[in-house]
Chains A and B, each alone.
Chain A
Amino acid sequence: MNKLIVSPSPHVHSGDSVQKNMYGVLLALVPALAASVWFFGLGALIVTLTSVLACVLFEHLIQKYLLKKQSTIMDGSAAVTGLLLAFNLPTNIPLGLIIIGAAIAIGMGKMSFGGLGQNPFNPALVGRVFLLISFPVQMTSWPVPIAARGAYIDAVTGPTPLSVVKEGLSAGRPFSELTAEIPSYLNLFMGQMGGSAGEVAGVALLLGLLYMLIKKIVTWHIPVAVVGSIAVFTGVLHLSDPQAYAGPLFHLLTGGVLLGAFFMATDYASSPMSKRGMLLYGAGIGIITVLIRIYGSYPEGVSFAILIMNAFTPLIDKYIKPKRFGEKPAVQKA
């Protein structure tokens, strides 16, 4: 017999691992990837592949040659970042920009803070926002779904529903008139609209979220808080003046709301730890998103909203603690 192992309790483990969680997220993103390929074809494939490979490669190179540590690319976190970055890019974006985005996401967003689990901001969003500010033209030309399937850089582009409505409303046109110019809500939910590679198909993203919830990779708090707060905020505005403000369904189904709420805001490292904190954080994201969309100059604000709330995460963690056992007043017996 070998020497007995001695260690403090517990002596069993759930079998959960970093890898299982990361690969679980990747798996949950597969439906959205499939939808993306269906709508944007070649471009989606090229962008996704480049982004994932570039992120994994950068992580490997930085760990091996810059930090002289063991490379941990097999844990899957770099691949998740790569996939999420790709999902946040238009599918006609030049390869060079993707690689720059990946370098920023992994290098600046993740490794400079100490790598896995240490990043205060969602790395994929750091990459995306860097690109959005540096290359606004390339980052806001959106290939038309299905029609542009066979092409990559030279894909036919068109406006997104969000920009149509934003421009229309600011030009004083009523919302009811604009709805004719955008796809139906069903089509929006299925993903037939212009937009970033992975954000269009709400149904696919919802499937992914369900998978993550069943596998207990994430809890419902952040997605529900984001979606709920956007629905309530835009709902109130819409009711106050149905012609000047788009309805909640429109806001939820367009742009990056669902991708952001389900996959970006729930990033482990940059979101709060307690349930109550998660709800507050999610509500914050929702409110900031709506503020940017309606009152800001950008038609879309999910990325900024998540990054802003990421910055509040340490503060939320400090002041909003999990609900403690015994917090509810004990029944006193005489």
Chain B
Amino acid sequence: MSVVLITIVTLAGLGAIAAVILFLASKKFQVFEDPRIDEVEEALPAANCGGCGFPGCRAFAEALVKADDISSMNCPVGGADTMTAVAGILGKEAGDAKPQVAVLRCNGSCEHRPRLNNYQGAMSCAVAAALYGGETGCSYGCLGCGDCVAACKFDAMYMDEETGLPVIIEENCVACGACVEACPKDIIELRNIGPKSRRIFVSCVNKDKGAVAKKSCEVACIGCGKCEKECKFDAITIKDNLAYIDYDKCKLCRKCAPVCPTNSIHELNFPPRKPKVEKTEPEKEPVA
């Protein structure tokens, strides 16, 4: 009997001493942490994608709490809703960042852009880009090794076997920018989603002279400038033989696309063009 008693007493004593030590230690070594950090982190999507420029949601939450002005900070995954919620918690003003989505500025599929040689190095765009200009005559276009797909944490990209190009699944894309970072050719761009997800952009980044570009890829921008002349809003600029559409100025009037001789201007999510008769009337898309 006494054995049992001794055991119980000893263990209980040990437990009590340990509890006291733990209590004191937690008091002494307590680090003050702003409770709002936890709250903000709770409001963030916990995707830890790094799209905000911070290593993970926790770091972003800390930065948000610390910053005086959070209007320039944005969570691409959560978008405006999340930022408003965060602003509410912190009593600060949220920015008005427009939701964005990744677009692929290359249409050099196997069909449009003949393969001239056969790459056999490591299956990595970064390795291939460091080696040479790529399998085709165009040294600006997609290399097709899929670094962007590997970088995407949201299952928003896959490689299309037929075209040899990556495809962006709009619904899944949160515009975290991982693919933009991964692409050694800077082909992928984050653009505003636009009203009804409608977007117009030049699907080419080739800076070679027109003739050279055209020779290597049927659908290359040749920098002819027709779209620039057509645009009434000065949204299109030609630089280094390449047209670029500024999405802040573009009114989505769709006039540039038909004049492009190489069909390098892409329109996404627009209704099909109406037959020619009605084309005289300028199409008015609601501008948000």
Contacts and interface: CB of A to CB of B under 8 A. Distances in A.
A5 interface: yes
A8 B127 CA distance: 8
A6 B133 CA distance: 11
A7 B120 contact: yes
B116 interface: yes
Which of A3, A5, A6, A7 has the most B CB atoms < 10 Å from its CB?
A6
Contact of B121 (A3, A4, A8): A8
Report, as a range, how many residues of chain A touch the other chain. Answer: under 10
A7 B130 CA distance: 11
A16 to B, nearest CB: 19
A3 B121 CA distance: 15
B118 interface: yes
B243 to A, nearest CB: 30
Interface in A1-48: 2-8
B233 interface: no
Contacts of B122: 8
B55 to A, nearest CB: 24
Given A6-B117, A6-B119, A7-B121, 4 more contacts: A3-B115, A6-B118, A8-B121, A8-B122
Contacts of B132: 6
B120 A4 contact: no
A5 B128 CA distance: 13
A317 B257 CA distance: 59
Contacts of A5: 117-120
B131 interface: yes
Contacts of B119: 5-7
Interface in B70-129: 115-122, 127
A7 B117 CA distance: 10
Contacts of A2: 118
A7 B122 CA distance: 8
A5 B120 CA distance: 7
B113 to A, nearest CB: 14
Report, as a range, how many residues of chain B touch the other chain. Answer: 10 to 19
Contacts of A4: 117-118
B189 to A, nearest CB: 28
Contacts of B135: 6
B270 to A, nearest CB: 38
27 contacts: A2-B118, A3-B115, A3-B116, A3-B117, A3-B118, A4-B118, A5-B117, A5-B118, A5-B119, A5-B120, A6-B117, A6-B118, A6-B119, A6-B120, A6-B121, A6-B131, A6-B132, A6-B135, A7-B119, A7-B120, A7-B121, A7-B131, A8-B121, A8-B122, A8-B127, A8-B130, A8-B131
Contacts of B127: 8
Contacts of A7: 119-121, 131
B132 to A, nearest CB: 6
A8 B124 CA distance: 12
A6 B119 CA distance: 5
Closest 4 CB pairs of A and B: A7-B120, A7-B121, A3-B118, A4-B117
A5 to B, nearest CB: 5
Contacts of B115: 3
Contacts of B117: 3-6
A6 B127 CA distance: 12
Interface in A154-197: none
B35 to A, nearest CB: 39
B116 to A, nearest CB: 7
A63 B162 CA distance: 29
Contacts of A6: 117-121, 131-132, 135
Contacts of B130: 8
A7 B119 CA distance: 6
Nearest to A2: B118
A265 to B, nearest CB: 33
Interface in A135-155: none
Nearest to A3: B118
A154 B131 CA distance: 67
A4 B136 CA distance: 12
A3 B135 CA distance: 10
A6 B135 CA distance: 8
